[in-house]
Amino acid sequence: MRLLAYDKQRGWVRVAALSSVDLLNLYRIVTAGDIVFQETSREVKKERASGAVDSERVSLKIGVAVEKKSLDPLMKRVRFQGRIVFADKDLDILKKYHTIQAGRGDVIEVESRERFPYFLKLGEVDYHDGVKEMLVISADDEELAVLKIESEGVKMLKTWRLDAASKRQGYQTSVEREEVFDELVQLLKDLTSDSKPKLVLLGTSIHLETLATEIRRRDIGIHGLIERKIATNIGGMDGLREALRRGALGEELKPLADAIQVENALRALLKYPEHVKIGLDEVARACSSARGGLVLATEDFVWENMENRLLDEIMSRAEKGLIRFRIILSNTEASDKINSLGGIICLEKKILAE
């Protein structure tokens, strides 16, 4: 969650929800009685002297005193409903009911003296996260892929596949190789024109050197952005999965840290099965008895169970600092593994200390 502005005296913050996990945090933090502000529009009707009625949409900023809140797991949106207590234009709408909706990328303001410290803490975490994105070029003799890793997840940007004749000769097919690397470097130029993301080459050892050489030959500036070369047994998306499982890409971005946490948890499950709890009921019991140490839950699981009493109790303990709670991003191999175990697991404190 990006903290854009704040006022400690008012307990007011302006935040941007950059991911669906940010929306879950927003939903969790905002409570009844808080005031939520958003730029919106309303239809205003005007009656002419002739009796005809015209209508137009007017942009304005309103504030709603929250009475109820709800969320839409399918659309990944949160809603806050209540009476309007502030409007920056005189449209006779005060005390009328209104629903404010927030989705990924939306900017919203909240006034809440009680919950203000939570917003500040989340904003500080985002502010100190130095690396915002990473571009990975993953290659072998069958596939060359460009992937973008950021705090919101992993996205395949472009992939090139060699046909059967080309695969037999690898990157030595001159015409196709030249075209592929021309396209690759142009794509990298486009992607780095406004920012300077960390650039990582990944793949089999022979292809790593070929990649670096061809990029340098075409653009020494792009070559200068390459920070690491990581050898894997395969390229493409499968090569990225291998690197994530090994923790070879570090943990500076959330998908990378998620992968490391999940792999560590699975190793603990194999070594200490009696101290790893699986499923909401078992996890809730472990946390309530003070045995719980680290809870891993997938993003989809949290969206679907946010109103569940047991999950609410677990997350409340996390807010008090009694346990650690981590949401694993959806559409990743890490989330697939946790979903196969019921969507939520808990590692007891005993094995975390070892």
Encode the chain (354 residues) as per-residue pLDDT tens digits.
Answer: 888 999 999 999 999 998 888 999 999 999 999 999 999 887 777 777 777 777 778 889 999 999 999 999 999 999 999 999 999 988 888 999 999 999 998 999 999 989 899 888 877 655 444 567 899 999 988 889 999 998 888 999 999 986 544 444 445 546 677 888 999 999 999 999 888 888 999 998 888 998 999 999 999 999 999 999 999 999 888 999 999 999 999 888 889 999 999 999 999 999 999 999 999 999 999 999 989 999 999 999 999 999 999 999 999 999 888 999 999 999 899 999 999 999 999 999 989 876
Q: What are phi and psi of 194, to 5 degrees?
A: -105, -15
At residue 12, the pLDDT reads 95
At residue 324, the pLDDT reads 94
**CATH 3.30.1330.30: which residues of the chain?**
254-352
At residue 150, the pLDDT reads 87
**CATH 3.30.420.60: which residues of the chain?**
133-246
At residue 352, the pLDDT reads 86
> b/e per residue, 240-251, with b = 16+ CB within 10 A?
bbbbbbeebbee
Q: What are phi and psi of 321, to 5 degrees?
A: 80, 15
CB 15 within 8 A of CB 119: yes
Tokens of 186: 């142009």
At residue 124, the pLDDT reads 64
At residue 166, the pLDDT reads 47
Q: What are phi and psi of 16, to 5 degrees?
A: -115, 125
CB 99 within 8 A of CB 120: no
Tokens of 196: 């300077």
Using CA atoms, how far apart are residues 245 and 261, in angstroms rounded to an integer? 10
| Of 307, 340, 345, the residue nearest 325 (C-alpha) | 345
**CATH 2.30.30.870: which residues of the chain?**
2-127
What's the CATH code, domain 254-352?
3.30.1330.30
At residue 141, the pLDDT reads 84
What's the CATH code, domain 2-127?
2.30.30.870
∠ CA(232), CA(225), CA(149), 5° rounding? 55
At residue 337, the pLDDT reads 96
CATH class of domain segment(s) 133-246: alpha beta
